[in-house]
């Protein structure tokens, strides 16, 4: 492992204008990390990575590297790019095992984090560095949000998230309240009553989008995000249809194959899958079949009826009448993205949402109600982990500035 990492590190050209860094949504100083590693300063490299990106270990595993850092590497124009994902994972996972720093002295101000996905974890870690007393309210039994309940174990081992919970949250003095939904027994108003100076909402998007076609309520039909939450609780049979062809659909398909499904086909309404080339190629390698330009029109107890669609050059889709074809299957999994749950928004006065039910917030995370901030999927819809972390860094600083301004007003 280490020899391979050093082989990759030695290929780096240390470009004066590093396009790899330009391609990274969180602006990781890739040349510096590689330089420090080659100079045997692994701890310094690890510290730099974590200070820039609290979820660097996660991102090294799940980022779309082919379109980001590695996709911009100049070596990739004529050959193989430097695989920084491998280098980053080695540095961050090795350095993570050495992190034992305790909590900062408390500044006496409480902060509530609702949701422990990528955005919530990032905000919590950054504000804990400033000395805020941070409490995370998580609706499920473990932290991680989509990282734990939406990304399969083979892509992101749960041990990585457990390590983050211990080293980055518990050791920093961050408290976690699992199985606690805000908007039910505890409301936003209760949090303000108990002295939380600011509240961050990072509840993600957990409500599956539906097709609104006949048969969608049948017992052989499931939603992708629910399946990924706990695959072992499903009895799918040997022949499965997945409706959808994005990255989440690839996760569903590859998980089902690992759980014993023998024949699985993903149906895409377009002539190309929406998933990344990396995820698509792995799905093909693992035996997933694909059908293109197919629109589901009805689900039956033993399969799905699809209609062919014609796709014009401008992307316009036109149904081809009389092309309905029945495809048999034991189970059907619908994986066409998700929207936000609405309990918190409906129980909180003064929070504006858009026509998709997503929270409205400005570029620095301010919502329509003072003291409440938001970022991540609950604002932007389903996005990548690194995008959520990058924006949440900005929001964390905005929350810090807001609470400092409250201090100044109280002093005056």
Taking only the tens of pLDDT, the chain with its 412 residues reads 456 899 999 999 999 999 999 999 999 999 999 999 999 999 999 999 999 999 999 999 999 998 999 999 999 999 999 999 999 999 999 998 887 677 889 999 999 999 999 999 999 999 999 999 999 999 999 999 999 999 999 999 999 999 999 988 988 899 999 999 999 899 999 999 999 999 999 998 888 999 999 999 999 999 999 999 999 999 999 999 999 999 999 999 999 999 999 999 999 999 999 999 989 999 999 999 999 999 999 999 999 999 999 999 888 999 999 999 999 999 999 999 888 877 788 888 889 998 888 899 999 999 999 999 999 889 988 788 999 999 999 999 999 999 999 877 766 5
Q: What is the CATH number of domain 210-336?
A: 3.50.50.60
In the chain, where does the domain assigned CATH 1.10.1060.10 lie? 2-96
The reported pLDDT for the residue numbered 221 is 98
Contacts of 395 (CB under 8 A, 6+ apart): 119, 123, 200, 364, 365, 373, 374, 375
DSSP 8-state secondary structure symbol assigned to residue 53: -
Q: How far apart are CA 255 and CA 242, in angstroms?
A: 12
CB atoms closer than 10 angstroms to residue 212: 6
* CA separation, residue 141 to residues 170, 224, 405 (Å): 16, 20, 35
Strand 331-334 vs strand 239-243: parallel, antiparallel, or unpaired? parallel
In the chain, where does the domain assigned CATH 3.50.50.60 lie? 110-206+339-411, 210-336
Q: What angle do CA 391, 146, 85 make, to 5 degrees?
A: 65
Number of residues that make up the chain: 412
Q: Decide: helix, strand or coil at residue 18.
A: coil
The reported pLDDT for the residue numbered 412 is 56
Long-range Cβ contacts of 314-317 (<8 Å, 24+ apart): 315/270, 317/269, 317/270
Identify the residue whose tokens are 């590093």.
18
The distance in angstroms from the start CA to the end CA of the chain is: 58
DSSP 8-state secondary structure symbol assigned to residue 81: P
Q: What is the CATH number of domain 2-96?
A: 1.10.1060.10
Q: Decide: helix, strand or coil at residue 373.
A: strand
Distance of CA 75 to the CA centre of its chain: 29
Query: Where would I find the beta strands (DSSP E) of 49-169?
Result: 110-114, 133-137
Distance of CA 169 to the CA centre of its chain: 18
Contacts of 411 (CB under 8 A, 6+ apart): none
Facing residues of 208 across strands? 338
The reported pLDDT for the residue numbered 191 is 97
Q: How far apart are CA 117 and CA 376, in angstroms?
A: 9
Identify the residue whose tokens are 């939904």.
181
Q: How far apart are CA 257 and CA 246, in angstroms?
A: 17
Q: How far apart are CA 211 and CA 290, in angstroms?
A: 19
* CA separation, residue 62 to residues 50, 154, 208, 251, 257 (Å): 16, 11, 22, 12, 20
Beta carbons of 6 and 90 less than 8 angstroms apart: no
Beta carbons of 177 and 138 less than 8 angstroms apart: yes
Q: How far apart are CA 27 and CA 52, in angstroms?
A: 8
Strand 239-243 vs strand 263-267: parallel, antiparallel, or unpaired? parallel
Kind and range of the H or E run holding 385? helix 385-411
Superfamily of domain 110-206+339-411: FAD/NAD(P)-binding domain (3.50.50.60)
Q: Decide: helix, strand or coil at residue 207.
A: strand
Q: What is the largest CA-CA distance in the chain?
A: 75
The reported pLDDT for the residue numbered 155 is 95
The reported pLDDT for the residue numbered 153 is 95
The reported pLDDT for the residue numbered 345 is 83
């Amino acid at each position: 492992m280490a020899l391979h990492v050093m082989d990759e590190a030695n290929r780096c050209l240390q470009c004066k204008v590093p396009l790899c860094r330009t391609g990274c949504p969180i602006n990781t100083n890739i040349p510096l990390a590689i330089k420090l590693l080659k100079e045997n300063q692994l701890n310094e490299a690890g510290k730099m990575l974590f200070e820039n990106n609290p979820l660097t270990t996660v991102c090294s595993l799940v980022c779309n590297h082919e379109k980001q850092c590695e996709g911009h590497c100049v070596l990739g124009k004529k050959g193989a790019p430097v695989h920084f994902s491998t280098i980053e994972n080695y540095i961050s996972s090795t350095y993570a095992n050495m992190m034992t720093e305790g909590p900062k002295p408390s500044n006496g101000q409480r902060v509530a984090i609702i949701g422990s996905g990528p955005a919530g974890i990032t905000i919590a870690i950054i504000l804990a560095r400033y000395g805020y007393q941070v409490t995370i309210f998580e609706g499920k039994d473990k932290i991680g949000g989509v990282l734990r309940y939406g990304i399969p174990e083979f892509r992101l081992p749960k041990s990585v998230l457990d390590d983050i919970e211990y080293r980055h949250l518990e050791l920093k003095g961050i408290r976690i309240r699992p199985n606690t939904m805000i908007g039910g027994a505890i409301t936003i108003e209760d949090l303000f009553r108990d002295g939380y100076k600011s509240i961050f909402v990072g509840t993600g998007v957990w409500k599956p989008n539906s097709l609104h076609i006949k048969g969608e309520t049948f017992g052989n039909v499931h939603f992708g995000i629910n399946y990924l939450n706990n695959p072992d609780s499903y009895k799918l049979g040997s022949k499965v249809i997945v409706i959808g062809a994005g990255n989440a659909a690839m996760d569903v398909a590859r998980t089902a194959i690992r759980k014993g499904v023998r024949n699985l086909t993903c149906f895409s309404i377009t002539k190309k899958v929406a998933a990344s080339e990396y995820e698509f190629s792995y799905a093909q390698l693992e035996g997933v079949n694909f059908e293109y330009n197919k629109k589901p029109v009805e689900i039956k107890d033993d399969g799905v009826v699809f209609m062919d669609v014609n796709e014009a050059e401008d992307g316009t889709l036109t149904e081809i009448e009389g092309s309905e074809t029945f495809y048999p299957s034991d189970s059907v999994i619908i994986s066409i993205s998700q929207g936000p749950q609405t309990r918190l928004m409906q129980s909180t006065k003064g929070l504006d949402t858009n026509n998709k039910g997503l929270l409205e917030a400005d570029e620095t995370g301010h919502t329509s109600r003072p003291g409440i901030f938001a970022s991540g999927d609950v604002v932007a819809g389903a996005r990548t982990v690194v995008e959520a972390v990058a924006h949440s860094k900005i929001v964390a600083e905005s929350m810090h500035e807001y609470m400092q301004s409250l201090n100044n007003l109280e002093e005056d």
